[in-house]
Amino acid sequence: MIDAYGIHIDIAPINLHLYIHFYALILMTGMLVAAWVTARRAQAQGYDPKHVWDGLMWAIIPGLIGARIYHILTPSPASGLSLQYYLQNPLQMFAIWNGGLGIYGGLVGGGLGVLVYARRHQQPVLKWFDLTVPGVALAQAIGRWGNFVNQELYGAPTTLPWAIYIPPDKRVAPYQAYETFHPLFLYESIWNVASFGLLLLIERRFRERLRNGDLLLVYLMLYATGRFLLDFVRLDSNGFGPITTAQLVSLLAFAGAGAVLYGRHRQPGAPKMGVGAGQQPSKQP
């Protein structure tokens, strides 16, 4: 049986009932698409695509852990949860099926997983980050449609032609009297698709000037810019006065990535786009 949020599966012989959330299916689709894109990019640039599939869980599992930790530390006000709640109910920290994943935590966790895998297999870390980030942007674009399925991540009330209807039980206080809202998930999805295309364009047009790690820095600046701007119309965010927590993190990410990008291009002689300094593309796993 299928409902609005997932699929119910009953396995009669063993009296087992499974419920598969559409949100989880969409997230997994995004991850697999990202892996496929990365594998194609790796092969095209002389790297063994087998590393993508072998290292996939090294990125996914730490990414989910990081995303969950970020949520636990900064839960949305509408959830009615707090860090104190999770400390008092530690088992709920693992209940990701109830929702609660933060993208910045996912990026940190997934990045650490890629770092560990690359080091273990003597791969150029910065180059693999550059190979990966366009696919990550595309995965984010796909994953945001899971928010549409869950009727979450919408913006301020609006009557624009592309506004979406939110049922009463999904409306956050004090906006229960409104019916249509900005499709914030759609805005971010479009932004991430545009970021995906722009990253590929930058890599193609400026290949001779880029250095390993530059594409990662550009991705961080692009995502931070979009997240900062879109959070102005987001309703369900915690923060510090007029600025949300995500906006503060976005400012720090943009400033940090921008400073590193600027600083490393003032230093002549660093390795350009391609293999890492003193390394050759690996043809073997």
pLDDT, tens only, 54-94: 999 999 999 999 999 998 998 877 667 788 889 888 888 98
Q: Mean pLDDT lowest for which of 4-8, 152-156, 230-234?
A: 4-8
Residue 269 counted as domain residue: no
The residue with greater pLDDT, 174 or 118, is: 118
**275 located within any domain:** no
**pLDDT tens sequence across 238-279:** 777 788 889 999 999 999 999 999 999 886 655 555 544 334
Is residue 229, in this structure, part of any structural domain at all? Answer: yes
Coil, helix or strand at residue 19: strand
**What whole-number percentage of the chain has pLDDT above 70?**
88
142 falls within a domain: yes
- The answer to whether position 281 is within a domain reads no
Give the tokens for residue 123: 């791969």
| Inside any domain, residue 29 | yes
pLDDT of residue 113: 97
For the whole model, what pTM was predicted?
0.87
At 67, phi and psi to the nearest 5? Answer: -65, -40
Give tens-digit pLDDT for 182-195: 999 999 999 999 99
In a domain, 41, yes or no: yes
Q: Is residue 112 part of a domain?
A: yes
Q: What is the pLDDT of residue 277?
A: 37
Q: Taking residues 1-13, what's their average pLDDT?
A: 71
Residue 161, SS3 per DSSP: coil
Please tell me the total count of domains within the chain: 1
* Domain of residue 25, residue span: 6-264
DSSP code per residue over 59-93: HHHHHHHHHHHHHHHS--GGGT--HHHHHHSGGGG
Answer for the pair 228, 187: CB distance below 8 angstroms, yes or no: no
Helix (H, G, I), strand (E, B) or coil at 160: coil
Residue 109 corresponds to which amino acid? G
